[in-house]
């Protein structure tokens, strides 16, 4: 589904990703772990099409398409979703209204009619309930004054409603207490399906106790240094990045 080959990316002239290769198949959950500054979040942003990153080499294919040639909204319309580490506030725009605009923008791009109001309401209530999101939070302005946990749960709600093919979670666990972490993980697990792939980016092994990955990659200095099964995450937890990779890492 997603094929990254020798991806090189710089920010303000400084190389961050230095030849990263990764293949993610439909139905699989890949975890990417790595110390601060290893380039994890850069990877997430580049895949989603954020400005400010200069791709200096390599390629990324999403299905049959050249992902890097697409606008951010085209990537979303093609089924790529990024649950953000810091969801932004948009004052005056109700959470639910935003969600409906997003769904309809994607449907329109796919040549589908707008979602019927009743169907939308039924779905959003159902999903919100599963994520412990109250009616009141749906009516509030998007992310405005939301707690850290509320923001992250809301990201998962959007993910569930937009039904993407590829879900990228960028440090979704940061700032969550254990209960919120479990709710978020349950939300993600419910979305696992043979057609859908996940790229879970995290600093800590803790999230992977709840979202059990098929493959774990350890990133350092702009490259994937090791790949393995879920046991790699536990090994990392015991030995730390430096122990595992056997090198001193620049912070």
Pattern 115-154, another protein, x by CB under 8 A: --x-----------------------x-------------
Pattern 153-172, another protein, x by CB under 8 A: -----x---x----------
Which one of residues 23, 65, 109, 239 is an interface residue with another protein (CB under 8 A)?
Answer: 109
Structure tokens at 45: 């942003």
Q: At CA 11, angle to CA 42 and CA 226, rounded to 5?
A: 40
How distant is the alpha carbon of residue 236 from its chain centre?
Answer: 21
91 binds another protein (CB under 8 A): yes
Q: At CA 4, angle to CA 201 and CA 219, rounded to 5?
A: 40
C-beta pairs of 236-239 under 8 Å, 24+ apart in sequence: 236/33, 236/205, 237/205
User: Among residues 114 and 179, whose Cβ is nearest to another protein?
Assistant: 114
Alpha-carbon span 5 to 25, nearest angstrom: 14
Alpha-carbon span 184 to 133, nearest angstrom: 11
User: Among residues 117 and 250, whose Cβ is nearest to another protein?
Assistant: 117
**What part of residues 31-60 is at the interface with another protein (CB under 8 A)?**
48-52
Min CB(101)–another protein separation in Å: 6
User: Among residues 47 and 244, whose Cβ is nearest to another protein?
Assistant: 47
Min CB(196)–another protein separation in Å: 17
Alpha-carbon span 137 to 206, nearest angstrom: 27
User: Among residues 160 and 224, whose Cβ is nearest to another protein?
Assistant: 160
Asked if 169 and 201 count as a contact pair (C-beta separation under 8 A), the reply is yes
Element spanning 100, H or E: helix 95-109
Side-chain half-sphere exposure of 199, counting CA atoms within 13 A: 28
Min CB(239)–another protein separation in Å: 35
Which one of residues 55, 68, 93, 121 is an interface residue with another protein (CB under 8 A)?
Answer: 93
**Phi, psi for 70 (deg, rounded to 5):** -95, 150
101 binds another protein (CB under 8 A): yes
Structure tokens at 55: 């791709």
105 binds another protein (CB under 8 A): yes
User: Among residues 26 and 105, whose Cβ is nearest to another protein?
Assistant: 105
73 binds another protein (CB under 8 A): yes
Residues in contact with another protein by the rule CB under 8 A: 48-52, 71-73, 75-77, 81-82, 84, 86-88, 90-93, 97-98, 100-102, 104-106, 108-109, 114, 117, 141, 158, 162
């Amino acid at each position: 589904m997603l094929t990254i080959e020798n991806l090189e990316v710089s920010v303000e002239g400084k190389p961050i990703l230095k030849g990263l290769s990764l293949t993610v198949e439909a139905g699989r959950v890949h975890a990417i772990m790595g110390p601060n500054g290893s380039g994890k979040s850069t990877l997430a942003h580049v895949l989603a099409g954020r400005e400010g990153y200069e791709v200096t080499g390599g390629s990324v294919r999403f299905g049959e398409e050249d992902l890097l040639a697409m606008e951010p909204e085209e990537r979303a319309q093609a089924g790529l979703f990024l649950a953000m580490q810091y969801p932004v506030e948009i004052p005056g725009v109700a959470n639910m209204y935003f969600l409906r605009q997003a769904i309809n923008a994607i449907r329109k791009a796919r040549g589908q009619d707008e979602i019927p109001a009743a169907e939308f309401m039924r779905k959003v209530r159902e999903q919100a309930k599963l994520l412990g999101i109250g009616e009141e939070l749906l009516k509030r302005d998007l992310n405005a004054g939301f707690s850290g946990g509320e923001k992250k749960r809301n990201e998962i709600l959007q993910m569930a409603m937009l039904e993407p093919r590829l879900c990228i979670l960028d440090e979704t666990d940061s700032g969550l207490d254990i209960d919120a972490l479990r709710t978020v993980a349950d939300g993600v697990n419910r979305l696992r399906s043979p057609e859908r792939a996940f790229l879970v980016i995290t600093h800590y092994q803790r999230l992977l106790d709840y979202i059990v990955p098929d493959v774990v990659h350890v990133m350092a200095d702009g490259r994937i240094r090791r790949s393995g099964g879920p046991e790699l995450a536990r090994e990392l937890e015991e030995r730390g990045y430096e122990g595992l990779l056997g090198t001193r890492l620049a912070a």
